[in-house]
Amino acid sequence: MPQTTRILLPESAIPTHWYNVVADMPNPPEPVLGADGKALSPDALSAIFPDALIEQEVSRERWIPIPQEVRELYQLWRPTALVRAHRLEAALGTPARIYYKYEGASPAGSHKLNSALPQAYYNKREGITRLTTETGAGQWGSSLSFAGGVFGIDVRVYMVRVSYQQKPFRRSMMQTWGAEVLASPSELTASGRAALAAHPDSPGSLGLAIAEAVEEAAGRADTNYALGSVLNHVLLHQTVIGLEAKQQFEIAGDWPDMIFAPCGGGSNFGGIAFPFLADNAAGKKPVRLVAVEPTSCPSLTRGHYAYDFGDAVGLTPLMKQYTLGHDFMPPGIHAGGLRHHGASSLVSQLYHEGLVEAVSVPQLATFEAGITFARSEGIIPAPESCHAIRACIDEALRCKQSGEAKTLFFNLSGHGHFDMASYDRYFAGELEDFDYPAEAIRDALARLPRVAEGV
Amino acid sequence: MPQTTRILLPESAIPTHWYNVVADMPNPPEPVLGADGKALSPDALSAIFPDALIEQEVSRERWIPIPQEVRELYQLWRPTALVRAHRLEAALGTPARIYYKYEGASPAGSHKLNSALPQAYYNKREGITRLTTETGAGQWGSSLSFAGGVFGIDVRVYMVRVSYQQKPFRRSMMQTWGAEVLASPSELTASGRAALAAHPDSPGSLGLAIAEAVEEAAGRADTNYALGSVLNHVLLHQTVIGLEAKQQFEIAGDWPDMIFAPCGGGSNFGGIAFPFLADNAAGKKPVRLVAVEPTSCPSLTRGHYAYDFGDAVGLTPLMKQYTLGHDFMPPGIHAGGLRHHGASSLVSQLYHEGLVEAVSVPQLATFEAGITFARSEGIIPAPESCHAIRACIDEALRCKQSGEAKTLFFNLSGHGHFDMASYDRYFAGELEDFDYPAEAIRDALARLPRVAEGV
C-alpha cells in the first residue's frame, strides 16, 4: 500500500463540544462597549441575536455542547479529510511535511457552514422565522441560505453590490437553496438609502452590507441577524475544524510545528488554531499559529489595537480589535472574504498578547501559490485560502534552504469554483499588488470613534 | 450516535483491479468495423491510442490490474463516500432507502477523472507527449487537463463552441491546470475548416469536436487522442465507482434494488452498474440497472441498434450501438454531457439483451429534482446528475404509493458549480422540454452508414 494521503475519521469522531478559547486565555476578553463608552449588558444584543448565541458570546466555559441536530447536519460532510500534500511537497522539493484540512468539501464550498447551521438552529429554537445577513465573496451568504432552508427560516442576504454583479453564480447558488439576495446598498434600509444618496454608483462594502442587515433585523420582531465571522460565537463554532484535525494528527503520528490560515474577520483562523492554542497553554510542544492577511487589508499587521465598530456606519457596539478604521475602504482585491476593516476581538487580543502571529502577503503571490497547489493536489483553492497556501509554501521553501523537516498545516477553507473570474484576471495580467500607503492608514485611524480614546 | 450518513472506506479499499463486464456478458461484444464493413484489427487504432488501452479495449479478462501510480493518484479523492440521503427521504416522505455515490468530490468535479488519470498514465508510459480531446459540458476536458499536467503531457482541448462561450469558467479551470483550450469548430483541422465554411456561425457539436481532436492526433506521431466515454476501456476505468459501492453496501448491511445513472456515452452508467451486473450474472439478488437519458437525446429509448460512427464526420471506426444517427444534432439542452448521438457499444448490447433498462426524462423535471435534492442534501448537482436524481425520486414516490421500502441508489456523478447559468435559466422560466419528433429520428436514421445494412 502506498503512503496515506487522506486521514479520515468516522462520523462518531465529529466533536460533541465546541472549544471556547476564552477559558485558556491569560486575560479575560476586553468588554464590548455601547456608544456611551460603558460596558454593554449582553441582553442589549437580544434585538438581533437569540439568547443561546448571546450566552455563547460571553461564556467562559471551556467546552460548549453541540446540539444533536447540528451534529447530524454536520454529518452531511464532516468530518472533513486531513490531507497529506505529498505531491505539493514533491513539487516544492521541500523536506517539510505539508498537511491541509479541506473545508471546501461542505455543500456551500467553505468552512462557513460550520457556523451557519448552529446559528439557524438556535434562531429557530427561539421562534425566529427570518434572518438577515450580509455577504461579500458569497461564501457566508451561501452557507446561511442552505442552513436557513434546513430549518424553515427565510433568509435575506445583502450582497455587496460589486460581488452581486461580478459573482452572479454565487447568487444563483443562494437562490437554489431558497434565499432572497439583494444588492447592497439597497433602497430598503436607511443605511442603504443614505449610501446611495451620497454615491448612486456605490459598489458597496462589507461594512455597509452589515449595517443594512443589522438595521433590518433590529426593526423587526420576527427577524434576527446572523454574522459569518468576527464574533466569539462564530469562532467557537468553527473550532470543529481544529478539534477534528488534532484527532487526525494523532492518527498520523505527527503534530504541526506551524499552522496557517487566512484571516479576515477571523473565523477561519480561530477555527483551526484555537484548539491547538489550548495545547500550547497546557505546555505541550508549542505550535506556531499564523494568521495570514492580504497586504491590501492588513488589520493585524498594520492596524491599531483600539475600540471600533463592526460595521461601516456605526450601528454595532464597540469592540476592541485590530482595525484599519471602520470606514476603511479596501481596494478591490479578489479575496472578498478578507476585505474586512478589523479582526475579531479574540484573535486581536491573542495577537496583542503574543500568543498568535500574523503575516501579510501580496495578491499576485497568492494566486501563484494557488496555481502551484492546484497543479499538484488537484483542488483549485478559493482566493482567501490561497493566502494560507502562500505563507505555507514560503515556509516550506525556507525549510528547503535550511534542511528542516517541519510539519506545516494549513486550512484549505474553500474551493475556488466561484472565483474563476479572478483566476482569469490573474492569467490575463490584470491583477496587481496593493500596498496600503501609511498615510491612508493614519487617516483612517484618525477617524476611530472617540470612545476609543478613553479606554 | 445518530444514524450513519456517509459510509466511508479506508484508502486501502480503493480497488486493485478494474472490472471488465465483457467477461460476464452472455455474448461476446459485436466487432468494431472499418469503413469497408470488415472487422477492424485492434492495431488499426494505434495511430491514436497507446497499446495498453487498445489491449484493454478488446480484453475479455474479468479483472484488469490498476497501476500503482494510478491508485496513488486516486487517493487524492477516493474512495468517495456512499451517502444515505436521510433528508431527501424525509422530504419525499418515502419508505424507500436512498443512497448516492458522490463522484463530484474529485478535484475536477466529476467521475471523469477516474479514466483521465489512467489514460494519461498509459500514454506517458508509451512516450506520448501530447494529447488531444474534445469536451462539451467541460467535465471531461477538465479531468484530462489535470491528468495531463500530472504526467507532464501537453493537453489540447477542442471545446464545443457554444460551451466555450457559455461556460468560460470551465475553460479557466482547464487553463489553471495548464491545458490549451480552443473553440470547436476551429481553423486548425480540415474537419473544423469544412464546418466553418458551411456554417461560419456553427455552435459546434460533440461529434464535430471529436472529429477535430481525432484528426489532429492521427496526423502527429507525438500526439494521441483521449476519449471521455463510449469506449470499452473508459467504462472499464469507471468501474471503481461500483466496486467501491459494493464494499460500502456490505458495510451498510443493505443492497440496492435499483441503480440509476445518467447515460450519454455510457461511462457514468457503466461505472456504477457493471460491477453489480456481475452479481446479477452470478445469480445473487438481482439489481435493476437503469440508464437515464434526456427525452431530447434518447439514443437508447428511441434510437436504432445499428453500426454507426462515433463522431459527426465519419472519421472513427463503426461501432454497433443504439444511435440517433451520427449527424443527429440534439437541441441545446443544458446537460451537455448527455448530448451524444449514440450510447456505448457495451451498454447498447446489454440493453439490447435485456440486462439493463433505460428511461428518458424531460429537462424541466430534472432541474426540479436537482433543486429538491440540493435543498435537502446540500450539494447542488450537475444537470447530467439531475437525470438520475429525477428517475430515483420518481421511483421513491412510487414506493410512497405502494408502501414498498426499496433500496434505491444513484450516481451523483458531478456537482453543478459550473452549471449555475443553467439553474438561472430554469428559475427564469427560460428552459423548456423537448420531445424529439418521430420523423426527425426517422430522417437521421435514414442517413446511417450503408455498411450498417449488411450487418
Question: Which CATH number does the domain B6-13+66-109+233-454 belong to among 3.40.1670.10, 3.30.365.10, 2.60.40.10, 3.40.50.1100?
Answer: 3.40.50.1100
Residue B432 burial (CB < 10 Å; 0-12/13-18/19+)? exposed
Task: List the Cα angle A123/A222/A192 in 5-degree steps.
Answer: 105
pLDDT in tens, A81-102: 999 999 999 999 999 999 999 9
Positive or negative, the CA dihedral B274, B280, B281, B284 is positive
The CATH-assigned architecture of domain B113-227 is 3-Layer(aba) Sandwich (3.40)
Domain A67-109+233-454 CATH class label: alpha beta
- Identify the pLDDT of residue B35: 82
Boundaries of every domain in chain B: 6-13+66-109+233-454, 113-227
Selecting from A106, A178, A424 the residue whose C-beta is nearest the C-beta of B172 gives A424
Selecting from B76, B108, B380 the residue whose C-beta is nearest the C-beta of A5 gives B76
Question: Which residue is closest to B145 within chain A, CA to CA?
Answer: A375
pLDDT (average), residues A385-409 = 98
One pLDDT digit (tens) per residue for chain B, 455 residues: 458 999 999 999 999 999 999 999 999 999 999 988 899 998 889 999 999 999 999 999 999 999 999 999 999 999 999 999 999 999 999 999 999 999 999 999 999 999 999 999 999 999 999 999 999 889 999 999 999 999 999 999 999 998 898 888 999 999 999 999 999 999 999 999 999 999 999 988 888 899 999 999 999 999 999 999 999 999 999 999 999 999 999 999 999 999 999 999 999 999 999 999 989 888 888 999 999 999 988 999 999 999 999 888 888 899 999 999 888 777 767 777 787 889 999 999 999 999 999 999 999 999 999 999 999 999 999 999 999 999 999 999 999 999 999 999 999 999 999 999 999 999 999 998 988 778 878 887 888 887 644 44
The HSE-up count of residue A6 (CA atoms within 13 Å, CB side) is: 25
Question: Which residue is closest to A9 within chain B, CA to CA?
Answer: B8
B1 and A8 within 8 Å at the Cβ level: the answer is no
A172 and B11 within 8 Å at the Cβ level: the answer is no
- Kindly state the cell numbers that stand for B30: 459485436
Could you give the CA distance from residue A426 to residue A428 in angstroms, rounded to a whole number?
Answer: 5
Could you give the CA distance from residue B55 to residue B126 in angstroms, rounded to a whole number?
Answer: 13
pLDDT in tens, B159-205: 999 889 888 899 999 999 999 999 999 999 999 999 999 999 998 88
Higher pLDDT, A166 or A388: A388
A1 and B10 within 8 Å at the Cβ level: the answer is no
Q: Give strand pairing partners of B291.
A: B261, B358
ipTM: 0.96
**B156–chain A nearest CA distance, Å:** 16
pLDDT (average), residues A154-173 = 93
Q: Give strand pairing partners of B250.
A: none
CB < 8 Å to B68, chain A: 2
Q: What one-character-per-residue DSSP string does B88-121 give?
A: HHHHHT-SSEEEEEEGGGSTTSBTTHHHHHHHHH
A417 and B109 within 8 Å at the Cβ level: the answer is yes
Selecting from B149, B377, B421 the residue whose C-beta is nearest the C-beta of A76 gives B377
pLDDT in tens, A279-331: 988 888 899 999 999 998 899 999 999 999 988 888 889 999 999 998 877 77
Domains B6-13+66-109+233-454 and B113-227 share a fold: yes
Residue B323 burial (CB < 10 Å; 0-12/13-18/19+)? buried
Positive or negative, the CA dihedral B24, B302, B343, B84 is negative
